Chain A
Amino acid sequence: EVQLVESGGGLVQPGGSLRLSCAASGFTFSRYWMHWVRQAPGKGLVWVSRINSDGSDTSYADPVKGRFTISRDNAKNTLYLQMNSLRAEDTAVYYCASYDSSEGYFDYWGQGSLVTVSS
Chain B
Amino acid sequence: DIVMTQTPLSSPVTLGQPASISCRSSQSLVHSDGNTYLSWLQQRPGQPPRLLIYKISNRFSGVPDRFSGSGAGTDFTLKISRVEAEDVGVYYCVQATQFPYTFGQGTKLEIK
Chain A positions within 8 Å of B, measured between CB atoms, are 35, 37, 44-47, 50, 59, 61-62, 95, 97, 99, 103-112
Contact = CB atoms under 8 A, between A and B. Distances in A.
A46 to B, nearest CB: 7
Count class of interface residues, chain B: 20 to 34
A35 B101 CA distance: 10
Given A47-B101, A104-B54, A110 B35 contact: no
14 contacts: A37-B49, A44-B103, A45-B106, A95-B48, A99-B96, A103-B54, A104-B39, A105-B37, A105-B39, A105-B51, A105-B54, A105-B55, A107-B60, A109-B50
B54 A45 contact: no
B21 interface: no
Given A104-B55, A105-B37, 6 more contacts: A44-B105, A45-B49, A46-B103, A47-B100, A105-B96, A109-B48
Contact of B41 (A47, A99, A106): A106
B39 A106 contact: yes
Given A44-B105, A44-B106, A112 B48 contact: yes
The B interface, classified by DSSP as helix, strand, loop or mixed, is: loop
A105 B55 CA distance: 8
Contacts of B54: 103-105
B95 to A, nearest CB: 9
A59 B100 contact: yes
A109 B92 CA distance: 14
B37 A47 contact: no
A104 B96 contact: yes
Interface string B88-106: 0010101011011111111
Closest 10 CB pairs of A and B: A104-B37, A105-B54, A109-B48, A45-B103, A104-B96, A47-B101, A44-B106, A105-B39, A44-B105, A109-B49
